[in-house]
Amino acid sequence: MSLPAVARAIAPMSPAAIAKVRALEAHSLAVVPQVPIVTYHLLHAGMYHRTITIPKNVTLTGALIKRRTTLTLCGDAVIYTGGEADLHLAGYHVIAASAGRKQAFHAIEDTHLTMCFPSSARTVAEAEAEFTDEAELLFSRRGENVVTNTGE
């Protein structure tokens, strides 16, 4: 059995890199039909996890993340992080992701992403407010949600 790969960390993005993602986002919202994305939420043991699947050949942008998280990727995707080169990850990866990032993802194959961070939130809305000031851009605000809240 092979162990999961730990990719290099995703660092905070520069204002210029974030602006590029915002431009892609504006263009995509204006001209590309939006693909429905289901968001799976888990609130348990002082942790918040949110999982989405990006279908093959779909590009999406994320909200500006204002706190450090762990990002787990299972699939095959290219991530624009504003660095010198895009990050192409295939397989299973656990990534240390800094605050101050707004990535763009392109799925080469169906790709599952789970973001996780410690949280005292009791609701999804509270957890979303903890990690972004752009909650209105989240797929969970306009798509299907599956919520598990153990209360533990």
Domain boundaries of the chain, sorted by first residue: 5-149
Read off the pLDDT of residues 74-130 as tens digits, 9 standing for 90 and up: 999 999 988 777 889 999 999 999 999 999 999 999 999 999 999 999 999 999 999
Do the bridges between strand 145-149 and strand 39-44 make them parallel or antiparallel, or are there none, so unpaired?
Answer: parallel
Distance of CA 111 to the CA centre of its chain: 11
Distance CA 31, CA 76 (A): 25
- CATH node for 5-149: 2.60.120.10
**Three-state secondary-structure class, residue 51:** strand
Per-residue pLDDT tens digits for 8-57 = 688 999 999 999 999 999 988 887 788 999 999 999 999 999 999 999 99
